[in-house]
A = this chain, B = another copy of it.
């Protein structure tokens, strides 16, 4: 399976896991809709910072209001 783990990086550069095994990501305005292979769904106000699919790694940056 070719899902990816999605991390959030904070302003200090520290990243933490936000959702594992993500299949779908759909940008919706300033939010992202994420769905993983276990049907877990999350919304987050963030932008994609970088994706490295072979490493199964997607990094998001939270958007501040």
Residues from 45 to 64 in A contacting B, C-beta threshold 8 Å = 47-54, 56
- Is there an interface contact between A24 and B2, defined as CB atoms closer than 8 Å? no
The size of the chain A interface, using a CB distance under 8 A, is 20
A4 close to B (CB within 8 Å): yes
Q: How far is the CB of A9 from chain B (nearest CB, A)?
A: 13
A20 close to B (CB within 8 Å): no
Distance between Cα atoms of A1 and B54 in the complex (Å): 6
- Is there an interface contact between B2 and A56, defined as CB atoms closer than 8 Å? yes
- Is there an interface contact between B23 and A50, defined as CB atoms closer than 8 Å? no
Closest residue of B by beta carbon distance from A1: B54
Interfacial chain B residues near A23, Cβ < 8 Å: 52-54
